[in-house]
Amino acid sequence: MNCGFKITSHLAAIAVSTAMATLIWVGICLSGCSGKKQTEVKQPQCDLPDTLRVATLYSPTSYFLYRDEPMGYDYSLLMQFASDKGIAVNLTVASSLGKMIEMLDSGKVDLLAYEIPVTAEYLEKIEPCGPEFSTHQVLVQPKKQSAGLINDATGLVGKEVYVEENSKYHYRLQNLNNELGGGINIHVIDRDTLITEDLIEMVSDGEIPLTVVDSDIARINKTYYRDLDISLPLSFPQKSRWGVSHGCKWLADSINAWFEQETPKQRQAQLLKRYFELSKDNGDTGVFNPDFSKGTISPYDNLFKKYAGEIGMDWRLLAAQGYHESHFDSTQVSWAGARGIMQIMPRTARAYNLTPNRITNPEANISTATKIIRDLDKSLSRKVADKEERRKFVIAAYNSGLAHVLDAIALAEKYGKNPAVWYGNVEAALLMKANPEYYTDPVCRAGYFRGRQTVTYVKEVMAFYDNAKKKIAL
C-alpha cells in the first residue's frame, strides 16, 4: 500500500544529507503496513488508499452470492465503509482462514473482513478492528415439546442430542457430559453425510430431537425455521473481529472510528436485522390463493399468457413461479431486496433496464422476468440439451442465480452424478454447496450456497404447474 507520507518541515533542520533523509522516509513507509509486528518504529499515520485490498471467506454470515448478487453481513458492512470513505474495494475470497492470514502477513491484502476469533493465537498475527461479534454454542430444540423447553444444561441428562462427529459441538457436549456426571446420550453424525444446517432442519422436521450449533448459525437458520428455540447457551461467548496487520494499526483506528459514528451504528443494526432476523421465506401472504375451480390461476393470467408466449413458455409454469415467488403480491419485498410478483433483484433489474419506480409494476415485472428466464434457458442449453429437463434447471437458476446451478452441474459431473438430470443428481450436488468441503472445491466458482431452499422451490413450482395443467386450459 502507498502510505503517502510527507517529510515534515523539521526534518530539513536535521543535519543529515538529503540521501539519508530519503532512506529514513522510505524505511518508515515500507515498515508502516508490513505484515510483521513493529515494536521500535513509531506508528505512522496514513491516509486511506484509493483501493482497499480485502480478503474474506465464503460463509452464510460473511460473504455469499444470492441470485448472482454479492451479499453477507461482513460484506455489506465493508461496502458501506468503503462507500462512506470514497474508496474502492478489491475483494479476494480465500480458501481458508489460514490462507487469508498468510495473505495479510505477506502484504497481499490490507484487511480481513471476516470474524476472526480474538484469541492469543490470532492476536499474535493480527490487529483486531471493526465490529465485535460474540457467539456461543446453543441448543436447538423445537418450541413445542410435550415435556416443555429445556431451559438449563442439566435438562440434557437423559436426552438424545445429535452433532457432527469430531466437531467443536461434539467436544463441547462431551465436556458438558463429564461436568454433569454423564447421562447425555450423544449421537454423532458422519460429517461427510450431513452438516450443521442439515441437523437444524432435521430438528425442525422432527427427525431428531436436539442438536447444538453456534449462535450466529442458529440465528440465521431460525429465519427459515420459526418453530425452533435457540435461547439456551451451552458455552462461554467467543469474541471475534476483523483484522489488519500489526504494522497497519492506523487502518484499524480508521475503521474503529467509523464504526463508532452514529450512522454506521444504525446501518449495522439494520444489517443485523436483515441477515439474522428477517424471515427468509415469503410464505403465504394471504394476498391471493388460487382457486382452480374458477378456471383461473391469478389476477395476472393475461400478463402471464402474453409474456410467456413471447418466449415460447407455458404460461401456467410462469404463473407457478409467480405464486411461489410472491403469492402474486406485487408489493412484496424480500429480505434480500427482491421485489414484485416475480421477485426481481435490484442489480438484475438494472441489467434489464427495469427502473426502480417500475420494478413493482406487475406488467413490467412479469415482462422482465420472462427475459431473465429466456436468457437462463439459452445459457443452460449448452449444458442440458433436453428441453423438458432443462425447465427444472432454469427454475432453479431463477431462484438461486445461474452461477450456483453451473457449480452444481460441475460438482455432479465430478462426483459421479448425471450433470444433465435435475432430480437426484444436480439437485443433490446443489445441496453439497452448503458444505465447505464442496464449495471450496476447485470446480466451484461461486462458493457457499444454501441449496435446500432452491431444491424445495423447484419441487413446489413443478407440483403447482402439474396441478394447473390438469385444471387450467392452455
Please provide the DSSP assignment of 378-418 as one string.
Answer: HHHTTT---HHHHHHHHHHHHHH-HHHHHHHHHHHHHTTS-
The mean pLDDT value for 41-63 works out to 81
CA gap 341, 363 in Å, rounded: 9
* pTM for this predicted structure: 0.84
Check residue 19 and give its pLDDT: 38
pLDDT tens, 66-120? 999 999 999 999 999 999 999 999 999 999 999 999 999 999 999 999 999 999 9
pLDDT tens, 356-405? 999 999 999 999 999 999 999 999 999 999 999 999 999 999 999 999 99
The answer to whether 332 and 285 have CB atoms below 8 angstroms apart is: yes
CA gap 155, 140 in Å, rounded: 13
CA gap 189, 200 in Å, rounded: 13
Q: Residue 193 — pLDDT band, cuts 50, 70, 90? A: low
| Phi, psi (deg, nearest 5) at residue 213 | -145, 170
pLDDT tens, 401-457? 999 999 999 999 999 999 999 999 999 999 999 999 999 999 999 999 999 999 999
Distance of CA 181 to the CA centre of its chain: 39
Residues 6 or more apart in contact with residue 26 via CB below 8 angstroms? none
Domains detected in the chain: 9-131+240-276 (3.40.190.10), 137-236 (3.40.190.10), 292-471 (1.10.530.10)
CA gap 394, 320 in Å, rounded: 13
Q: Which three cell numbers stand for residue 19?
A: 540521501
